[in-house]
A and B are shown apart, each in its own frame.
Chain A
Amino acid sequence: MQTFPPLSRRRILAYGAASLLALAGCGVKHAGGFAALVLDMGGPDDHSFNEGAVHGLRMGRQKLNLPKSQTKWVESNSPSDYQPNLTALASAPYQVVFAIGYAMFSALKEVAPRYPKVKFAIVDDDAPPFPNCEGLTFKEQEGSFLAGYLAASVSKTKKIGFVGGQQIPLIEKFQAGYTAGAKTADPAVVVTATYTGDWNDETKGRSQAAQQFNAGDDIIYQAAGKAGLGVIEEAKARGKGFYAIGVDMDQDALAPGSVLTSMVKHVDVAVMDTMVRLKNGQFDAGTHIYGLKDGGIGLSPMRYTKQDVPPGVLARLQTLTQMMENGTLKAPVTMQEAAAFHPPALPSS
């Protein structure tokens, strides 16, 4: 039998510190399995990005007929959790570990080469240059383009708004596509844009939306995580004639009738698709881009608001979708491109 030295105060402190560190690093030993997710800081209740990923994990599990124990997701409470979380899941091991969010790129770059047998996929960023890494990105500009076209067509004030979470290239894609789409519907439409600088602060999102509505906007597109839920709350509080446009997940049901549509980014489809491809031996390094064409992006079915859309607009959205799918229309990805964007000629209907 092994004997332990008596616990000195110092030792207790050391153990305490170590166990704290282990806790912080999500030190629970994972059992291993097929697929696991490391969520970003928003949490699985963001009605958006993280929630979509968890949903995709479930869809993939059902599609592949895996038991629940074969999949797992963990949350990140701060950027310092990324690396320990990725390491814990890779060493479990899971066959594929998803990094949900561009912010995990550098953590993934550290962890991936150490586990060459494990596959990694990062959502919203290109893959780090390793044979076991895939990047899953989306053409957010395409869906945002449709959202902008729809908003400009529905707007009565001919002024529409955008609330972003952070001024980064990823969110600029949303703003650029939206602006270009609005321009395509009506070159006279004005787009106002504000950024919350914070993904959690619902009240800040609501405040910005309120001020934009007061400035004359009647439709506001949000791409601001949980802060964006405040935009939906404000549209709901104002009632008829004011709309929010949801993002990432179908958020129409959060405030039926007040959410014109949602620009759905099917993180779930990307996660599920990657799981299926891995199972079929089709996992290949590099970046997979999901767009309108492969069902990775799209507007929500507008269950509550279809009657508010002027006739002909839905058909023209269909045309625009086809043009983007076959490459005749390219939605801009930066504000610079959006400024130089020339609206395509649409067949009159």
Chain B
Amino acid sequence: MSLQVVTGFVLAVLYFYTPLALAAMGGILSERSGVVNIALEGFMLFGAFFAVCAADLLHHEPVWLADGAGLLAAVLAGAVFGLLHAMFTQKYGMDHVVSGLGINLLASGVTRYFYLHLYPNGLSVAGMPRVFFVVPALLLPFLVYLFVKRTRTGLRIRSAGENPEGAMMAGVNVKSVRYFAVACSGVFAALGGAYLTLADAHNFSTDISAGKGYIALAAVIFGKWNPLGAAGGALFFGLFFALQTQLEIHNYKLVLLGIHLTNPMCLDTLPYLMTILALAGLVGKSRPPAALGRQEKGTL
């Protein structure tokens, strides 16, 4: 194996890791505050679309300005739809999964509609190098870890997810904390989406998030709701996706009990399989935040 192949492999892992890790950090914040977040997929898709839209709008301006506008648009879109998810679940007491699914469907439909009507001939942006996302995505898990474990706001987020009644008694405004956490989660996931369009594909195509939000959520659960664990999960899944390609290139086939394990369709189930194993306690005890997804009656 040449050096080129090895560096190529490592880069491929990092490029898979980056959007997953960004979205997974969003997932951590939201879920640690007690709000189930399958809407990561929708946040990513919105982020991907609005980022590329804004960058395209300013394509006559200097590249850094167009990219900056793209990032800003992704952040705003993530915050807005994050707040929407928080409002549905906290203000109107909607089931968290239903609200998340609704946002995902909305994202798919809205981005599809506007993309096809605004850009009938497709679009292409100069974008930015992928490293601008990769390095922050490598650092972010440590920051989120410190934030959740070591800061006052982090403690409030955890208390909102573990024992909202107790937190309320202690004078924490649980709802505000959750609004904040879910909005942040939207922002991170949308930045993961912006990576897909601004840095990787340099264009947009419908449903470009292709399930990455769900895989990020799987990484959160696989990592036992710990930022570093979730980052490890994202890295682990990235490793397998890249490995799959390497095995195919070199024509290795792993067949076990008549199942062709290195078949891409088989490998695509891996994140979900690992999630099930994690939930079944096969990779150590896994415990979600106690109040995760609970619909509180009355005021908090």
Binding site for B on A (CB under 8 A): 43-47, 75, 77, 161, 166-167, 192-198, 200-204, 206-208, 210-215, 226-227, 229-230, 233, 254
Contacts and interface: CB of A to CB of B under 8 A. Distances in A.
Which 4 pairs between the two chains have the least Cβ-Cβ distance? A197-B264, A214-B8, A201-B210, A194-B248
Nearest to B11: A210
Find the residue from A161, A193, A197, A206 having the highest chain B CB count within 10 A: A197
A211 B116 contact: no
B200 A211 contact: no
Given A211-B12, A215-B5, 11 more contacts: A43-B206, A47-B122, A166-B264, A203-B196, A206-B201, A207-B12, A207-B245, A208-B245, A210-B11, A210-B12, A229-B201
Contacts of A167: 263-265
Nearest to B115: A45
Given A203-B15, A229-B201, A233-B202, A211 B267 contact: no
Contacts of B19: 203
B180 interface: no
B23 to A, nearest CB: 13
B246 interface: yes
Contacts of B116: 43-45
Interface in B238-265: 241-242, 244-246, 248-251, 263-265
B175 interface: no
19 contacts: A43-B205, A44-B116, A75-B112, A161-B249, A192-B248, A192-B249, A194-B244, A195-B264, A197-B264, A197-B267, A200-B207, A200-B210, A202-B210, A204-B210, A207-B242, A211-B249, A212-B245, A214-B5, A230-B201
B165 interface: no
A43 B208 contact: no
Given A203-B15, A233-B203, A214 B4 contact: yes
B268 interface: yes
Contacts of A254: 122
Interface of B is mostly: helix
A99 B7 CA distance: 44
Interface of B: 4-5, 7-9, 11-12, 15-16, 19, 108-109, 112, 115-116, 119, 122, 196, 200-203, 205-208, 210-212, 241-242, 244-246, 248-251, 263-265, 267-268
Contacts of A233: 200-203
Contacts of A213: 8
A206 B197 CA distance: 12
Contacts of B109: 77
A200 B208 contact: yes
A212 B5 CA distance: 9
Given A43-B116, A47-B122, A202-B208, A196 B249 contact: no
Contact of B268 (A46, A47, A197, A230): A197
Given A203-B15, A203-B19, A214-B4, A46 B205 contact: yes
B192 to A, nearest CB: 11
Contacts of A195: 248, 263-264
A206 B206 contact: no
A204 B108 CA distance: 19
Nearest to A215: B249
B122 to A, nearest CB: 7
Nearest to A194: B248
Nearest to B267: A197
A202 B200 contact: yes
A208 B122 CA distance: 23
Contacts of B250: 215
B206 A200 contact: yes
B21 to A, nearest CB: 14
Contacts of A212: 245, 249
A193 B248 contact: yes
A203 B215 CA distance: 14
A203 B245 contact: no
B297 to A, nearest CB: 19
Contacts of B210: 198, 200-204, 227
Contacts of B212: 201
Contacts of A194: 244-245, 248-249, 264
